A and B are shown apart, each in its own frame.
Chain A
Amino acid sequence: MNINEIQDGYVIDHIHAGLSMRIYRYLELDKLDCSVAIIKNAKSERMGRKDIIKIDELIPLNLEIISYIDAGATVNVIKDGKLIDKKHLAVPERVVGVLKCKNPRCITQTEQELQHVFVLKDREKGVYSCYYCDTIHKHED
């Protein structure tokens, strides 16, 4: 894969340096058959250092996950080698089916088909709490 040229796929840009592996893990990009490139600590005039992820296929992309991890990232959509969309993200009010509640006494631990839902508690600190049991989930958890 030539990481500079994508025909159909995504370039997730302006990721805060150090967060790309987390996005990679949460999006489960390791399970893809297509090429995926991670560029860490790229020089950036605006950010100093940034990470970039390039995905060489237009897969269904869960923007909620990316915006939860780094709402400052931008998602460029490439089709036929051309930039057709540039998505700016915002901190999500709710995160559904991404995080797992760690409270062993939470109802989500026994109701197997229940989706884990987290609601934003503190926008500045990126703190979420479980919709069911109120257990706090911090960004670094």
Chain B
Amino acid sequence: MIFLLHLLDIIDWSPEDLDRLMDAADDMIARPDDYREAAKYKKLATLFYEPSTRTRLSFEAAMLELGGQVLGFADASASSVSKGESVADTVRTVGCYADIIAMRHPKEGAPTVAAAFSPVPIINAGDGGHHHPTQTLADLLTIRREKGRLNQLVIGMCGDLQFGRTVHSLMNAMARYKSIRFVLISPEELRVPEYMREGMKALGVPFTEVEKLEDVIGTLDVLYMTRVQRERFFNEADYVRLKDSYILTMDKLKPARKDLAVMHPLPRVNEIRQAVDKDPRACYFKQVLNGKHMRKALILKLLEAAK
């Protein structure tokens, strides 16, 4: 039962497990004082083999708010890894010091290796272009809190849908709920990979693929924006033709529903204009906050499971 002791990939956890985790996060938001000492005397190790300041700070803030303590490294050059130590040995060692480990690693599958050797729970805080399940936890809680449900939704995914791991994880997680429909908005070059398309077909989840956000924004309950990078395009002409289509402005929001939830995994560059930040439909900073609460709920759940 590896998946209940660790979080490696979001789909290792059932929708019911995730619902319970979101219930716990909701309770932490409603009654923060009740949790101020929930992880007292416990230690979280953040093993960040590549820098990711916002994710690391989110984990550390989560642990501190639970009354626990944090230790770890923020970049591999500051650890034994630079001397060639294996992931297995590192987690066996750190597992003697800490009660739970959050790991960010550039190699895909590194947290799976860690989970096989660690004496304490492992949380995948991002492994290369593979998984980033705690971002998806933040996304799920945001959708549930903003829309009041995780079913019967039309979800627009916009921008780089080929390389965006947050897009794939969220699609895989949402595909398990009833009456979900995806609208995939991207240039031809950055459409979702074939295996994602096949996966959605196999699950019977309807989706449409379009090139322009303007054409579909009025049909969406949720709009998940991602960054489109110039270097991803094969030719400059396509980039020039399409780049403005993936920048959300107040003008583009006009035909959108009043209760649309605009999300973004952050950091953004220019794909959402700052003017949109003041619109009540902008949820991306709530997502950051929800991410911290979900990490708190996750840490407590895994500490409990490891007892």
In angstroms, Cα B87 to Cα A133, docked, is 15
Q: Is B191 an interface residue (CB 8 A)?
A: no
| Interface assignment of B105: CB less than 8 Å from any CB of chain A | yes
Residues of A near B129 (CB, < 8 A) are 105
Interface string of B194-210 (1 = CB under 8 A from A): 01000000000000000
Let me know if B130 is at the binding interface, CB within 8 A: yes
- Does any Cβ of A come within 8 Å of B110's Cβ? yes
- Interface residue ranges of B127-146 to A (CB < 8 Å): 127-130
Q: A105-B128, A107-B87 in contact; A132/B106 too (CB < 8 A)?
A: no
How far, in Å, is A120 (CB) from chain B's closest CB? 16
Give the docked Cα–Cα distance between A133 and B124 (Å). 13
Contact pick for B107, options A105, A113, A135, CB 8 Å: A105
Contact call B112/A105, Cβ cutoff below 8 A: no
A103 to chain B, nearest CB (A): 7
User: How distant is the Cα of A130 from the Cα of B86 in the complex, in angstroms?
Assistant: 19
Point out the residues of chain B lying under 8 angstroms from A133, CB to CB. Answer: 108-109, 128, 130
Pick the contact of B112: A109, A110, A132, A136 (CB < 8 A).
A132
Q: For chain A, residues 87 to 141, give those with C-beta under 8 angstroms from any C-beta of chain B.
A: 103, 105-111, 113-114, 130-136
Does B253 belong to the interface (CB within 8 Å)?
no
A132 contacts B109, C-beta separation under 8 Å? yes
How many residue pairs at the A-B interface have CB separations less than 8 Å?
47
B282 contacts A by Cβ under 8 Å: no
Q: Size class of A's contact patch?
A: 10 to 19
Which of A107, A113, A134, A136 gathers most chain B CB within 10 Å?
Answer: A107
**Is the contact region of chain B dominated by helix, strand, or loop, or is it mixed?**
mixed
Residues of B90-109 contacting chain A, CB below 8 A: 105-109
- Taking a contact as CB atoms closer than 8 A, the residue among B86, B88, B105, B130 that contacts A134 in the complex is B130
User: Residues of A contacting B195 with CB < 8 Å?
Assistant: 136
**B87 / chain A contacts, CB cutoff of 8 Å:** 107, 111
A105-B108 contact given A111-B113, A134-B130, CB 8 Å threshold: yes
| B86 contacts A113, C-beta separation under 8 Å | yes
- A133-B130, A134-B130, A136-B195 known; A108 and B109 CB under 8 Å? yes
Closest-by-CB residue of B relative to A132 is B109
In the complex, the answer to whether A111 meets B86 with C-beta atoms within 8 Å is yes
Which residues of chain A come closer than 8 Å to B105, judged between CB atoms? Answer: 107
CA distance A135 to B109 in the complex (A): 10
Contact of A131 with B112 in the complex, beta carbons under 8 Å: yes
Q: How far is the CB of B171 from chain A (nearest CB, A)?
A: 15
B82 to chain A, nearest CB (A): 13
CA distance A134 to B9 in the complex (A): 11
Can you list, as one digit per residue, whether each of B102-126 has a CB less than 8 Å from chain A (1) or not (0)? Answer: 0001111110110000000000000
Instruction: Tell me whether A109 and B107 are in contact (CB under 8 A).
Output: yes
Looking at A131, A133, A136, the one whose CB has the most chain B CB atoms below 10 A away is: A133
CB distance from A118 to the nearest CB of B (A): 12
CB distance from A95 to the nearest CB of B (A): 16
Output the least CB separation between A121 and chain B (Å): 10
Instruction: Point out residues on A near B: beta carbons under 8 Å.
Output: 103, 105-111, 113-114, 130-136
Assuming A106-B107, A107-B105, A132-B113, what are 7 further A-B pairs, CB within 8 angstroms? A105-B130, A107-B87, A107-B107, A131-B112, A133-B109, A133-B130, A134-B109
What are the 9 closest A-B residue pairs judged by CB atoms, nearest first? A132-B109, A133-B108, A107-B107, A107-B109, A133-B109, A107-B110, A105-B128, A105-B108, A132-B112
